Structure 1
Amino acid sequence: MTESEVDANEQIFWMYTAFNVSNITETYSNPFDELRAGKDLVRQLAWLIGVLYAAVFMVGTLGNALIVITVACNKSMQNVTNYFIANLAASDFIMCIFCIPWTVVNSLMDNWIFGDVMCRLVPTIQAISVFVSITSHVVIASDRYCMITYPLKPRLTRAICFVIIALSWTSATALAIPITYFTKEYDLRVYGYHIVCYEMWPSEVPKKVYEIILILLGYLIPLTVIITLYGRISYVITSRVLPGVFTEAQERQDLKKKQKTNRLLIAVVMTFTICWFPMYMIRIITEINPKVFSGEYHDLVFFICHWFAMSSTVYNPFVYAWLHEKYRRRLKSAFVAKCFRRSSIYRQHSKEGVATTHLQTRDYVTNSPKSTRFSSMRSLKGVDTV
């Protein structure tokens, strides 16, 4: 290990310790004892943490993968709105793959075992997928706003839709470049600790500026835009009166549809707000005072906030797709029909073969009696005339 690496490790040791350990108190005479107490508390709840994250991982990956595959394989679903929903599902799928297993394993083991390359790659992909997921919410809200508020205006073309999707991934990648640059693996075993994957900036000022940018672009501004757009959509739907004369039953049905739409809009806003609020709140508080959530309960608080954020990958497919009857019908037609396509074709051919046989037999039987009956009638007619 070179002298520069030793100095860097020593610097990261003091920064890491200062960030994760509070001041020495009467309870803990050694700051590392406080860290280890927090790790022991998490290990005691490891089974519960594993079950909660496993549920989010399985449901999130399966639900989002089904959305992407369904839109990709079903031509009738390939429109602008569904492309945006599929983009959201793709980012949530990547989030499940790169945010859940790596974070849980690293936190429970309290040791980074995946090497320096993955130390840079994993948090970068995490940041990209999170930012694309959040921007997808804004794009979907904007698309719905334009579609409902201005129904006579032409919709976005597929080319523009793909440009918007590409820009979301490009901007997310550009925003994540500092994480890739400043994140590195550090070996703290010489200080009696473990190998850590840590994001170390040259000074606190640029780091705080970057955190503020992430909080603004990743939560506060998108939340404001989503609430504004969906609030406007709700107002337009509620106040809009369809032309024509309606019966009482039709009015009730129209009111029921409006209430259902409003509930879906509220569900979108509440899901986004509640899921991401704890994670961004802890980031804001940590930037103000890093020692508020440090020490014995730091890891446990982080797991709770992180699980809420990751659970959004489970709710999004239900809110944007599964609750819509049209989507469920097309999903069944896209998958169930294809799963049984071979057997259905076989049954269809079998039925056609049987039907052809019956048809030929029926034609033969039908034609024969007709000639026989005709001959018989002639015979009977002749007998009668005699």
Structure 2
Amino acid sequence: MDHWIFGDIMCKRTSYVHSVSTSVSIYSLVLTAVERYQLIVNPRGWKRSVAHAYWGITLIWLFSLLLSIPFFLSYHLTHEPFQNLSLLTDLYTQQVACVENWPSKMNWLLFTTSLFMLQYCLPLSFTLICYLKTVICLRRRNGKVDKRRESESWVRENKRINTMLISTVVTFGVC
């Protein structure tokens, strides 16, 4: 469609919900990386609990809801895109579009840069560090296993885990 028909509230909600769901997905991946790191690197010193899971999920949602508020505030309905049409017909005189409208270019640039850092750079870096430390820990264990000539299934399992961890980070980075 070339115009917006769902009203002002849906205009604001659509971008807001999109940003919230993106942030929740990203920070859930980070929480998973932290949990895997703790389970593999520090299996005896860290105990998983349902309360930890609830706290982690609650914090992820609260942070995501707050981080996305500028989207809710910046999207508006406007006639502006249809005012510059050379063949303005009756069909477009009452049409509106849902567009992002910031008080200044600097505000938009600051928010966009902050969002890029908070939704991509920091989570990717944090996840990469967690998984890198996990891979290093598993390699050290593999060296000990190789020295003792214990089961090859343990070595294969660690290689499979390493491949999964690396592919998770690469997929996140690419997507």
Q: Same fold (TM over 0.5)?
A: yes
Q: Which has the higher helix share?
A: 1
Q: Which residue of 2 aligns with 1:197?
A: 98
Q: Which residue of 1 aligns with 2:112?
A: 211
Q: Aligned partners of 2:137, 2:51: CA distance in 1, in Å?
A: 28
Map 1:275-314 onto structure 2 (within 5 A).
275=175
2:72 equivalent to 1:180: yes
Residue 267 of structure 1 aligns to a residue whose secondary structure is: helix
Unmatched 5+ stretches in structure 2: 86-91
Q: Which residue of 2 aligns with 1:235?
A: 136
Residue 111 of structure 1 aligns to a residue whose secondary structure is: coil
> Percent identity between the aligned chains?
29
Q: Aligned partners of 1:167, 1:209: CA distance in 2, in Å?
A: 24
TM-score (norm 1): 0.40
Q: Aligned partners of 1:132, 1:110: CA distance in 2, in Å?
A: 30
Q: Identify which of 163, 168, 172 aligns with 2:60.
A: 168
Q: Aligned partners of 1:180, 1:254: CA distance in 2, in Å?
A: 50
Size of the alignment, in residue pairs?
164
Q: Which residue of 2 aligns with 1:267?
A: 167
- Which amino acid is 2:67 matched to? L
Q: CA deviation at 1:205?
A: 1.3
TM-score (norm 2): 0.86
Q: Which residue of 2 aligns with 1:115?
A: 7
Q: CA deviation at 1:187?
A: 2.0
Q: 1:243 to 1:271 in 2, by over 3 A?
A: closer
Q: Aligned partners of 1:180, 1:139: CA distance in 2, in Å?
A: 26
Structure 1 residues 22-67: Cα deviation after superposition (integer angstroms, max 9, x where no partner): xxxxxxxxxxxxxxxxxxxxxxxxxxxxxxxxxxxxxxxxxxxxxx
2:37 equivalent to 1:137: no
2:117 equivalent to 1:225: no
Tell me if the contact between 2:38 and 2:46 (Cα under 8 Å) persists in the aligned partners.
Answer: no
Q: CA deviation at 1:156?
A: 3.2
Residue 236 of structure 1 aligns to a residue whose secondary structure is: helix
Structure with higher Rg: it is: 1
Q: Aligned partners of 2:164, 2:146: CA distance in 1, in Å?
A: 25
Unmatched 5+ stretches in structure 1: 1-108, 276-386
Residue 68 of structure 2 aligns to a residue whose secondary structure is: helix
Q: Identify which of 120, 145, 158 aligns with 1:258.
A: 158
Structure number with greater CO (CA < 8 Å, separation at least 6) is 2
Cα RMSD, aligned residues only: 1.9
Q: 1:253 to 1:160 in 2, by over 3 A?
A: closer
Q: CA deviation at 1:242?
A: 4.5
Tell me if the contact between 2:26 and 2:119 (Cα under 8 Å) persists in the aligned partners.
Answer: yes
